Amino acid sequence: MKQIILIVTLLITTITFSQNKNAKTIIEVDGICGMCKERIEKAAIRTKGVKSAVWNVDTHELKLIYDERKTDLKTISQKIASVGHDTKDVKATDEQYASVHPCCKYRDKDVVEDHEGEKKSDNEN
């Protein structure tokens, strides 16, 4: 009996230490502007266990530092989708997507092209 308790304790300890409290990763999140950036970062950082979230407008990469003992990428992706932004693993529902500002409609080709035009004119100045 003592051997079983020792083995179970050892197994639990191994699992606990195998999770990283400062895991770093990058996930792709759809969006097109500064308002998207603010919304995406807020949703991620409000997820329990997320310590840092920085989204790049140009690359659509969300750099995360999070505690694997408290959350996982699926949970973070679901939180981001809940504010209307798609990730590689979780797509926002039509209702969630409809909640984003009209200038943030990243699924709308015309809106995306408008933002591209703004970026080009900003770079020319």
pLDDT tens, the chain, 125 aa long:
666 665 655 555 555 556 788 999 999 999 999 999 999 999 999 999 999 999 999 999 999 999 999 999 999 999 999 999 999 999 999 999 999 999 999 999 988 888 776 665 555 55
Cα separations (Å) of 95 from 3, 37, 38, 59, 98? 54, 20, 20, 25, 5
Cα separations (Å) of 88 from 5, 9, 12, 22, 31? 41, 37, 32, 22, 12
How do the domains of the chain map onto residue ranges? 19-124
Predicted TM-score of the model (pTM): 0.78
What pLDDT was estimated at residue 7? Answer: 63
Question: Is 19-124 CATH 3.40.50.700?
Answer: no
